[in-house]
Chains A and B, each alone.
Chain A
């Protein structure tokens, strides 16, 4: 199962970067033990929800998504800052609405809802099967989401099938 190996490799790199002691055998052994423990626990958690093949493919396509979400975060930060500092000229217009989701798989829907929450100005309140309830501080932010640019990009990460 590729997920297990991916987890072991990732955790090992993570541990090595955080520790910085790469020569002491005792500490390395302790690190190996903790990686094994963490992997075992993660596999126990994942047993119920089979981690489908989508995960690895999505991980490999992440580089196309992060730069875009970063520019999006900067843009929405600026619009929220305007509302904070100049409430007279830029009044807030709170709005809540149920949106359809394009992404299909569980992990893509999680990523989509998290991206909505990560950008200031919008928060995903509740996720149901194919719908997400979004609260937006500004009506323009909601219209951007309804335009579906973010959903399309997350959907593209999923690949074809």
Chain B
């Protein structure tokens, strides 16, 4: 039984690390600001979740794991706020995203 829990926790930790590394690679491989933010949000969400899940499985269900769950919860609540503030300020200061469709077509569909 202990072996199964260990294996599960290690799988979660490795998956979480993989997601974190992918987020970092995405930040470097995407070309402009707005798409880089998307790569960072992979690290924000599932990477954190899987690493915390792995740590909870390691620690067993104690008060510490409750604190870890709270940490995930707080990160998921506050992460979007930080991302939104960053993107909004970039947009308002006039950084235009590089889009795949033309401006005219976007304007026809009601883009501001």
Mark A residues whose CB is within 8 Å of B. 14, 17-18, 20, 73-74, 77, 80-81, 83-85, 87, 92-98, 113-115, 117-126, 133, 135, 137, 139
Q: How far is the CA of A78 from the CA of B83 in the complex (A)?
A: 20
CB distance from B7 to the nearest CB of A (A): 21
A84 touches B25 (CB 8 A): yes
Measured between beta carbons, the chain A residues less than 8 angstroms from B67 are: 17-18
Residues of chain B contacted by A139 (CB below 8 angstroms): 100
Binding site for A on B (CB under 8 A): 19, 22-23, 25-26, 29-30, 34-35, 37-39, 41-42, 44-46, 63, 66-67, 70, 76-77, 79-81, 83-84, 87-88, 91-92, 97-101, 106, 109-112
Quick one: given A95-B99, A135-B34, A137-B38, are A80 and B106 in contact (CB under 8 Å)?
no
**A residues near B70, Cβ cutoff 8 Å:** 14, 17-18
Q: Which residues of B contact A84 (CB under 8 A)?
A: 22-23, 25-26, 29-30, 39, 42
Collect the chain A residues with CB atoms within 8 Å of residue B101's CB: 93, 95
A-B contact pairs, 25 of them (CB 8 A): A74-B46, A77-B42, A81-B19, A81-B22, A83-B26, A84-B26, A87-B29, A93-B100, A94-B99, A96-B99, A97-B111, A114-B81, A117-B83, A118-B44, A118-B79, A120-B41, A120-B44, A120-B45, A123-B37, A123-B41, A125-B88, A126-B91, A135-B34, A135-B87, A137-B38
Q: Which residues of B contact A14 (CB under 8 A)?
A: 70
Expressed in whole angstroms, the minimum distance between the Cβ of B54 and any Cβ of chain A is: 16
CB proximity of A27 to chain B, nearest CB, Å: 15
Main SS of chain B's interface residues? helix
What separation, in Å, do the CA atoms of A14 and B89 have in the docked complex?
Answer: 33
In the complex, how many angstroms separate the beta carbon of A53 from the nearest chain B beta carbon? 22
Closest to A128 in B: B112
For A121, the chain B residues whose CB sits under 8 A away are 38, 41
Chain A, residue nearest B84 (CB): A117
Chain B residues with CB under 8 Å of A95's CB are 99-101, 106
A114 to B25, CA, bound (A): 25
Specify which chain A residues have a CB less than 8 angstroms from the CB of B63 in the assembled complex: 17, 20
- Chain A residues with CB under 8 Å of B97's CB are 94, 96, 135
